[in-house]
């Protein structure tokens, strides 16, 4: 991949029928997603993870090997995690927290390809309020009708059951605000999940910085959501992030 595809107005997800090619496409997007997070200085303390469902072994998912700095992520650094948490493909170690959080979500949501979670600068403090996003910015309207709250005191997810409770709280939404923990987003592609995450983090920043903001009406928010909430918005956000943060996407392999 010499360069990232140019940004276009096409709102459809690329159709890749060859499963091996699709696997590589998802792995590249995952590595690029980690590099985006690294460029934004997310995950500097080893927190956070992006996963991608494998299109061949559909109950498995790809994940960055434990201990690899996000900014250095490549396709070869990814590992394939089996449903029981064992290593199926790859040489790295598996992030246990990533397995316990993401595996139940992938199991509960066969409609999604990817999930993203990290302890970001504004998502984590906003989550301590245990409140949903309100329509106080244009971007927030992309989430106000499609969000969930995980109101649970297991902050350090150390059990599979804890991940199952997150999956249950998430339901059919694309965003979960994890109490005192941060944000988690999902999507039908890696690009969508990562794009939604960065957008949700910016929405959290508005909420933290404008605690007395006056929201628009729900009727007004619904009109804005028609433009801001569709899946293609998350994908396009990812495309712009890559072009801005990673000048040469071929670095991921």
Tokens of 121: 């600068």
Residue 197 lies in domain: 19-246
CA angle 137-36-142, nearest 5°?
25
Of 91, 83, 3, 75, nearest in space to 32 by CA: 75
48 in a structural domain = yes
**What are the φ and ψ backbone dihedral angles of 82, each rounded to 5 degrees?**
-80, 165
Q: Which residues pair with 118 in a beta bridge?
A: 183
pLDDT in tens, the chain (253 residues): 445 555 566 677 778 999 999 999 999 999 999 999 999 999 999 899 999 999 999 999 999 999 999 999 999 999 999 999 999 999 989 999 999 999 999 999 999 999 999 999 999 999 999 999 999 999 999 999 999 999 998 888 999 999 999 999 999 999 999 999 999 999 999 999 999 999 999 999 999 999 999 999 999 999 999 999 999 999 999 999 999 999 888 889 8
CA 144 from centre of chain: 17
Tokens of 213: 């903001």
Gap between the Cα atoms of 82 and 13, Å rounded: 26
252 in a structural domain = no
Of 101, 11, 110, nearest in space to 63 by CA: 101
**What are the φ and ψ backbone dihedral angles of 175, each rounded to 5 degrees?**
-135, 135
* 73, 35 Cβ separation under 8 angstroms: yes
- Cα torsion through 29, 174, 164, 118, rounded to 10: 50
58 in a structural domain = yes
In the chain, DSSP finds a helix count (H) and a strand count (E) of 7, 8
Query: For position 36, which CATH number holds?
Result: 3.40.225.10
3 in a structural domain = no
6 in a structural domain = no
- How many Cβ atoms from other residues are within 10 Å of residue 30's Cβ? 29
2 in a structural domain = no
pLDDT digits (tens, 9 = 90+) for 13-60: 778 999 999 999 999 999 999 999 999 999 999 899 999 999 999 999
Gap between the Cα atoms of 41 and 250, Å rounded: 21
Of 6, 101, 72, nearest in space to 253 by CA: 72
Gap between the Cα atoms of 19 and 196, Å rounded: 25
3-state class (DSSP) for residue 187 = strand
Count of structural domains, the chain:
1
- Cα torsion through 75, 76, 80, 81, rounded to 10: -100
């Amino acid at each position: 991949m010499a360069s990232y595809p140019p940004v276009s107005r096409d709102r459809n997800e690329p159709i890749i029928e060859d499963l091996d090619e699709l696997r590589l496409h998802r792995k590249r997007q995952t590595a690029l997603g980690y590099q985006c997070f690294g460029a934004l200085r997310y995950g500097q303390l080893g927190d956070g993870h992006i996963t991608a469902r494998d299109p061949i072994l559909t109950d498995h998912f790809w994940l960055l090997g434990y201990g690899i700095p996000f900014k250095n992520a490549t396709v070869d650094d990814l590992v394939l995690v089996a449903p029981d948490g064992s290593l199926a493909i790859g040489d790295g170690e598996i992030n246990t927290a990533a397995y316990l959080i993401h595996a139940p979500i992938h199991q509960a949501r066969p409609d999604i390809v990817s999930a993203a979670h990290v302890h970001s600068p504004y998502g984590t403090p906003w989550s301590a309020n245990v409140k949903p996003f309100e329509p106080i910015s244009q971007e927030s309207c992309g989430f106000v009708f499609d969000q969930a709250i995980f109101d649970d005191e297991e902050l350090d997810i150390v059990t599979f059951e804890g991940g199952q409770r997150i999956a249950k709280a998430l339901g059919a939404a694309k965003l979960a605000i994890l109490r005192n923990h941060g944000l988690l987003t999902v999507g039908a592609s890696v690009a969508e999940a990562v794009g939604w995450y960065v957008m949700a983090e910016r929405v959290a920043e508005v909420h933290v910085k404008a605690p007395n903001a006056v929201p628009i009406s729900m009727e007004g928010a619904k009109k804005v959501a028609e433009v801001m909430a569709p899946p293609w918005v998350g994908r396009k956000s990812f495309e712009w992030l890559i072009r801005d943060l990673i000048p040469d996407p071929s670095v991921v392999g």
